[in-house]
A = this chain, B = another copy of it.
Amino acid sequence: MNTLRVVCHQLAPRIADVEHNRALSAEAIRGAAALGAQVVVLPELMQSGYVFNDRHEALAVSEDLDGPTLTLWKALASELGIIVVAGFCERLDAGRLANSAALIEPDGRLTVYRKAHLWGREKLIFTPGNEPPPLVETAVGRIAMMICYDLELPEWVRLAALAGADLLCAPVNWPDGPRPADERPAEIVRVQANAAVNRMFIAACDRHGEERGVNWVGGSVIVDADGYPLAGAVSHQKEQRLVADLPLAQARDKFISEHNHVHQDRRPVLY
Identify the A interface with B (CB < 8 A): 116-123, 128, 130, 132, 149, 152-156, 158-159, 179-180, 183-184, 186, 189-190, 192-194, 196-197, 226-229, 257-260, 262, 265-268, 270-271
A193-B190, A193-B193, A228-B180 are known contacts. Are A119 and B154 too (CB-CB below 8 A)?
no
Name 21 A/B residue pairs within 8 A (Cβ), A-sorted. A116-B267, A116-B270, A117-B267, A119-B260, A130-B270, A149-B265, A153-B197, A153-B267, A154-B197, A155-B158, A155-B268, A156-B270, A158-B271, A180-B228, A183-B228, A186-B193, A186-B226, A189-B192, A189-B196, A190-B227, A193-B193
A155-B155, A155-B158, A155-B271 are known contacts. Are A179 and B228 too (CB-CB below 8 A)?
yes
B227 touches A189 (CB 8 A): yes
CB-CB under 8 A from A226, the residues of chain B are 179, 186
B193 touches A258 (CB 8 A): no
CB-CB under 8 A from A121, the residues of chain B are 259
**In the complex the two chains form, what is the Cα distance from A56 to B5 in whole Å?**
50
**In the complex the two chains form, what is the Cα distance from A270 to B193 in whole Å?**
21
B228 touches A119 (CB 8 A): no
**In the complex the two chains form, what is the Cα distance from A238 to B153 in whole Å?**
35
CB-CB under 8 A from A123, the residues of chain B are 259
**In the complex the two chains form, what is the Cα distance from A192 to B258 in whole Å?**
26
**In the complex the two chains form, what is the Cα distance from A196 to B154 in whole Å?**
11
Whole-angstrom distance between the Cβ of A29 and the nearest chain B Cβ? 30
**In the complex the two chains form, what is the Cα distance from A169 to B190 in whole Å?**
20
Whole-angstrom distance between the Cβ of A124 and the nearest chain B Cβ? 8
Q: Which residue of B lies closest to A197 (CB)?
A: B152
A132 touches B193 (CB 8 A): no
A197-B154, A266-B155 are known contacts. Are A120 and B271 too (CB-CB below 8 A)?
no
**In the complex the two chains form, what is the Cα distance from A116 to B268 in whole Å?**
12
B192 touches A196 (CB 8 A): no
**In the complex the two chains form, what is the Cα distance from A179 to B227 in whole Å?**
10
Q: Which of A118, A158, A265 lies at the interface centre, i.e. has the most chain B CB atoms within 10 A of its CB?
A: A265
Q: Which of A186, A193, A196, A227 lies at the interface centre, i.e. has the most chain B CB atoms within 10 A of its CB?
A: A193
